[in-house]
Structure formats: structure tokens, C-alpha cells
Amino acid sequence: MNDLIVAAYVFILAIFVGFEVISKVPSTLHTPLMSGANAIHGIVIVGAMLVAAALGGPLGTLLGFLAVVLGTANVVGGFVVTDRMLAMFKQRPTRKTE
Amino acid sequence: MTLESLIPLAYLVAAVTFILGLKGLSSPTTAVMGNRIAAAGMLVAVIATFFTQDVQGGVPVIVAGMLVGGVAGFAGARMVKMTAMPQMVALFNGAGGGAAALVSILEFSRELGAGRGTPPFGVTLPTLLALVIGAVSFSGSAIAFGKLQGIVTPRAFRYAGQQVVTGALVAAIGALALGLLVSSLGTATIDPMLLIVATTILALVFGVALVLPIGGADMPVVISLLNAYTGLAVAMAGFTLANQLLVVAGTLVGASGTILTRLMSKAMNRSLGNVLFGAFGAATAAGAAGPTGGDDGRTIRSIGPEDAAILLSYAQNVIVVPGYGLAVAQAQHSVRELADLLESKGINVKYAIHPVAGRMPGHMNVLLAEANVPYDKLYDMDQINPEFQRADVALVIGANDVTNPAARSNPSSPIYGMPILDVDKAQNVIVIKRSMKPGFAGIDNDLYLDPKTAMLFGDAKDAVGKVVQELKRAA
């Protein structure tokens, strides 16, 4: 039960942090921000690793494997795609002189 | 101090990087850094996890899965065209949701397999939530991807008895969940594994039923919402596994994703409920106006590239209104060339960016930035709208719904109330468009029937290229 209460505390506090951290985002950044947040929930990869071998057996192994595949795709794809989006916004050195 | 006792510390570091990462992503100057900080934190968490006891037996499966998922994710993210970015985000989001659902199934089965019966209420409840929300996000994202990719009809797909079907699904999922929760309290009735499987299937169907009736124009909001869902599912999986890092990261995304979804729907002047259950896009074009005219006798004027070039070269102020058609045709470089040419003639060129131009907020900015269009030439809707009446030519390239005056004047229009660009206030309007097909919202655009509007039919890149040639020849 203790674990659960701790998790509940963390959950509630994280809600407040999540609300607070996003305030006043220029609409230009909506898409990259969504994509970045998308990569962050890829943390489910850690959960997938923890249960990958939990069941054993062909079906259990297959499901564990799939969970890791999906989680990794979420993490890697999410961060790389966000980086690519943001690369488009990089300040070009010539801009100041224009 | 053993190595394993350092793991929670590594998780704490990761949690902090996620908060800093999100914070960084919300400002243009720190966004790149923010994304990389979060990625580094993710790496720390994954490496630390390899040292836990639970993982030891599964290393081969995990490494194999990471290779497959990593290559797929990396290749997908690198190779996708900038225009297809939104559906790619949907795909990755669906993957996360699917992973959360699988994790909760596996953890539940492990508890069952340990011979202790259905896990206690405090475990079963979050497990169920992770499963249902994750599965809905998985199948919902798949449909959203299909709609944006054109595999599934982008139109709002509605059918008789839709409310009944959706309601029945919710009721059935609720009943199954209740059955499981009851059995978690000690009175086992039906095989809990059977309940889990049935719940999963129904949740997958529900995800499809949820997204299918929503029109393609609303997909960005839907993807953002599903993104928040996945975050919540991951947080719930964190409860199940008693893993605080999953709870923190998942909740952060759930909360910030909810805010972001609200910001997006506000940019379209729609409430979230309206997006999910409204008839937007369902009131499809009763009659998509033929290329020759509307129902009230007004006709559409079609011009060629040479006329467009003349019109543009005599202008003082030109406002370019880019839309999804520009993105699809990859016309951003041609548009840049056109703008350069006009500017060399001393003509003022500005870009009017609607908050949802393209497919997502910020999407158009990304595309134009790719073509080296200076950032300070891009104007938000609020900044540019007063300037349209001073513009000699408004050049609309592949934009449709965001220029439709019906949003201002016609209360019966499904997009009534949506903020639009006041293109119709310009002296002349040139619309580059492939055909008279209605836009994503599925409605006709009165702008095209306006006497001062000239239609230049063709693929955006092609048409702009031809106008550039004409301009060069005249010079």
C-alpha cells in the first residue's frame, strides 16, 4: 500500500508540474512540443524491459518482445523526429545581416 | 552501496531531465537543447534499468526488441517527409500506447501466474486503466495515421446508430472492468485472463469508433489528445509496476498534453467536446461546386500563370497565404524563389500563417523555415489580418478552409466562428489550387466565387514555378 500512496503523491504533484511547465507556448512550437512530449512517454520502454521476461513461454516472450519494440520505436522515433523539426528553426548566421 | 541501489537515483535524474526538457521545448531558443536533455535522461533510465534483477532473464528479448524498434523508429523518423510529420507523430504515439497496454497485460499475467489470484484492487485498477487507455490510444492513433495518410477516409465517417454503438462499447468495457475489480476484491467469478483479453479487444474497437467519425481537419487535435492519453496510460502502468519514473513522465505528458490539446482547439475556436462529438466535417459538401460555378449563378474565374505574373508584378504589397497544398506539393522552395523575385522588384512580400495552416500548429513555419524563408516575414493571423485591406494581391497557395469567409458570415456553416485569414479583404486574390475539391473540412469556399478572386489551377509547385518563369521573362 505504501508504494501506492507514494505513487499517488508523485502523480498529483506531476500533474501540477505538467500544467505549469507548458504555460505560454508560442503556437509555432505546438507541433515540436507535442512531438517531444510524445517521445517522453516513450519511458514506457523501461516498463517494457521490466516485464519482458515476466511470463516466459512463446506467447509471453512474443508479447514482451512486442512491448519492447513498440516502446523503443516510440522513444527513438519521437526524439529523432522532434530534433528534425527543431533543426528547421535553427537561427542562420546570415539572418542578422539581412 | 550496490549498483542496484543507484537505479532509483538514475530514475530521479531522468525525471528531472524530462521536466527540464518540456520546459525547454516551450521556448524557441531552448527547444533543441530541451529535446536533447530529455533524450539523454531517457538513455540514463534505460541503461540503469538493465541493472535491475527483473531484467536479467530477458536481456536477449530486450536487446532484440530494441534493435527492431530502434531501427524502425530511427528510419521512420529520418525518412519521413516534413509534410508527413503529423501522421508520423501519430504512429509513434500509437506505439507508446500499445506498449503501455502490453506492459499492463504482462504484469497482470505475472501476478496471476504467481498463483495469488487476481491482484489486489490497488494494482488491478491502474492495470485496467493502463490497458484500456493504452489500447484506445493505439487503435485511435492508427486510424488518425490512416486518415492523414489517406488510407482511411479523411471525411468524418458517420453511421446510423453511432451513439448507440459507442455507448454500448463504453458500457461493455465498464462491465468487464467491474467484473475484474470485483474479482480483485476476492470473489473470483470468471477467469480474469479472459476478462483482460475481452477488455483489450473492446478497447481497441472503441479507439477506432472514437476517431473514425472525426474529420481529417480535426486530426491534429485528436493526435494531441491521444498523446495525452498515452501519457496517462504510461503513468498508470507506473502505478502497476510501482515505478515512480513511469508515473512522473507519463503524468507530465498527460497534463501538458491536455493543456496543449486545449490550446490547439482554441486556435480553431472549437471546444474539445465539439471536436470529439461535433458534426464538423460531417456536414460534407452537399454539392461540391463544379468548376464552373456555384448554385447562385456566380462563376469562378480561372487564369493562367502569365496573368498571375502580371498581376503580381504590378503589386506593391503581396501577402502569401500558404496551406497544406503547398506542403504536399513541396512548393516551399518555389514560393521562396517567387518571393525573392518579387522583392527584387521592390515589392513587399509577407506570409500569413494561420494557427492551423498545414496540418498542425507550427507545421507551416517548419516547412517555410526549411526553404530558408526569413522568420520575420512570417506573420501570425492576428498581426496580418488588418493588413489584407492594404494588400494588392493575396496569393493563396493550397490553403482552403482557413480562408473561407463563411466562417465569419454564415452561422450555418460547420466552420462558423473559426478564426480565419481575411484574404477576401485584399484588392485581388489569386488562389492556386489543384481542383475545385473542397478542403479537409469538406465544405465549399465562397472565396472562390468572389469576383476579385482568380483561380490558377494546378499543382502548387508547378504553378508557382510557371509564374516564376513568366516573371523572369517579363523582366
Query: Is B292 contained in some domain?
Result: no
Q: pLDDT above 70 covers what percent of chain B?
A: 91
Residues in chain B: 475
Rounded Cα distance between B420 and A82, Å, is 28
Average pLDDT, chain A: 85
Provide the domain limits for residue A55.
Answer: 26-97
pLDDT score at B272? 76
Query: Is A86 contained in some domain?
Result: yes
Q: What digits encode the pLDDT tens for the residues B182-203?
A: 887 776 667 888 889 999 999 9
Q: Phi/psi of residue B302, each to 5°?
A: -110, 135
Count of structural domains within chain A: 1
Query: Is A74 contained in some domain?
Result: yes
Interface test with B, best of A6, A9, A51 (most B CBs within 10 A): A51
pLDDT score at B282? 40
Cβ-Cβ contacts under 8 Å for B43 (sequence gap 6 or more)? none
Query: Is A8 contained in some domain?
Result: no
Provide, as residue numbers in chain A, all residues whose Cβ is less than 8 Å from the Cβ of B21.
Answer: 36, 40
Q: What angle do CA B228, A60, B186 make, to 5 degrees?
A: 75
Same domain for B157 and B253:
yes
Around B23, how many Cα atoms within 13 Å sit in the side-chain half-sphere?
A: 10
B422: annotated active-site residue: no
Query: Is B85 contained in some domain?
Result: no
pLDDT score at B447? 86
Same domain for B316 and B463:
yes
Of B102, B255, B360, the CB nearest to A19: B255
Same domain for B101 and B56:
no
pLDDT score at B284? 35
Query: Is B101 contained in some domain?
Result: yes
Q: Max alpha carbon distance in chain A (Å)?
A: 65
Of A33, A68, A89, the CB nearest to B26: A33
Write down which residue in B79, B112, B130 finishes a domain: B79
Q: What digits encode the pLDDT tens for the residues B380-429?
A: 888 899 999 999 999 999 888 888 888 888 777 777 778 889 998 999 89
Test A50 with B370 for CB contact under 8 angstroms.
no
**Average pLDDT estimate for A28-47:** 92
Same domain for B173 and B58:
no
Test A63 with B102 for CB contact under 8 angstroms.
yes
Q: Max alpha carbon distance in chain B (Å)?
A: 86
Nearest C-alpha in B relative to A92: B372
Classify the phi-psi angles of B258: left when phi > 0, otherwise alpha if psi is within -120 to 50, otherwise beta: alpha
Test A39 with B355 for CB contact under 8 angstroms.
no
Nearest C-alpha in B relative to A68: B65
Q: pLDDT above 70 covers what percent of chain A?
A: 89
- Whole-number CA gyration radius for chain A: 19
Test A89 with B14 for CB contact under 8 angstroms.
no
The residue ranking higher by pLDDT, A35 or B263, is A35
Q: What digits encode the pLDDT tens for the residues B288-343?
A: 333 333 445 567 888 888 888 888 988 899 999 998 778 777 888 889 999 999 99
Helical residues (DSSP H) of chain A, grouped into ranges: 2-21, 30-40, 44-51, 57-87
pTM of the model as a whole: 0.78
Task: Give the gap in angstroms from C-alpha B290 to the nearest C-alpha of chain A.
Answer: 35
Pair A18, B253: CB distance under 8 Å: yes
Query: Is B299 contained in some domain?
Result: no
pLDDT score at B216? 75
Label the pairing between strands B378-380 and B453-457.
Answer: unpaired
Instruction: Say if residue A83's pLDDT is above 70.
Output: yes
Average pLDDT, chain B: 85
Helical residues (DSSP H) of B185-281, grouped into ranges: 192-211, 219-241, 244-267, 272-277
Task: Using alpha carbons, list the distances in angstroms from residue A78 to B93, B113, B168, B229, B251.
Answer: 8, 34, 35, 16, 17
Task: Give the gap in angstroms from C-alpha A85 to the nearest C-alpha of chain B.
Answer: 7
Q: CB pairs below 8 Å between A and B: how many?
A: 382
Same domain for B115 and B70:
no
Interface test with A, best of B16, B30, B35, B227 (most A CBs within 10 A): B35
Nearest C-alpha in A relative to B379: A28
Provide, as residue numbers in chain A, all residues whose Cβ is less than 8 Å from the Cβ of B85.
Answer: 31, 35, 81, 85
> Which range, A2-11, B213-222, B270-279, B363-372, is most confident?
A2-11
Pick from B438, B437, B436, B432: which is nearest to B465 by CA? B432
- Among residues B191, B296, B376, B401, the one annotated as catalytic is B401
Query: Is A80 contained in some domain?
Result: yes
pLDDT score at B162? 81
Confidence band, pLDDT 50/70/90 cuts, at residue B174: very high
Query: Is A59 contained in some domain?
Result: yes
Query: Is A6 contained in some domain?
Result: no
Pick from B283, B282, B289: which is nearest to B448 by CA? B289
Provide, as residue numbers in chain B, all residues whose Cβ is less than 8 Å from the Cβ of A15.
Answer: 251, 254-255
Instruction: Say if residue B269's pLDDT is above 70.
Output: no
Test A44 with B34 for CB contact under 8 angstroms.
no
Of A25, A80, A85, the CB nearest to B366: A85
Confidence band, pLDDT 50/70/90 cuts, at residue B161: confident
The DSSP secondary-structure symbol of B150 reads: T
Rounded Cα distance between B98 and B65, Å, is 14
Pick from A4, A57, A19: which is nearest to B23 by CA? A19
Provide the domain limits for residue B111.
Answer: 95-277
**Average pLDDT estimate for B252-261:** 92
Pair B347, B315: CB distance under 8 Å: yes
By mean pLDDT, which of B126-130, B253-257, B324-328, B357-361 is the weakest? B357-361
Count of structural domains within chain B: 3
Same domain for B64 and B10:
yes
Task: Give the gap in angstroms from C-alpha B160 to the nearest C-alpha of chain A.
Answer: 34
Write down which residue in B44, B79, B114 finishes a domain: B79
Rounded Cα distance between A2 and B302, Å, is 72
Q: What digits encode the pLDDT tens for the residues B78-134?
A: 998 877 888 899 999 999 999 999 999 999 998 887 766 777 888 899 999 999 999
pLDDT score at B125? 92
**Average pLDDT estimate for B225-249:** 95
**Average pLDDT estimate for B139-164:** 85
Pick from B469, B25, B473, B221: which is nearest to A78 by CA? B25
pLDDT score at B71? 97
Instruction: Say if residue A36's pLDDT is above 90.
Output: yes
pLDDT score at A82? 93
Query: Is B215 contained in some domain?
Result: yes
Scanning the structure block, which residue is given the C-alpha cell 493575396? B394
Residues paired with residue B320 on neighbouring β-strands, in sequence order = B351, B395
Test B57 with A74 for CB contact under 8 angstroms.
no
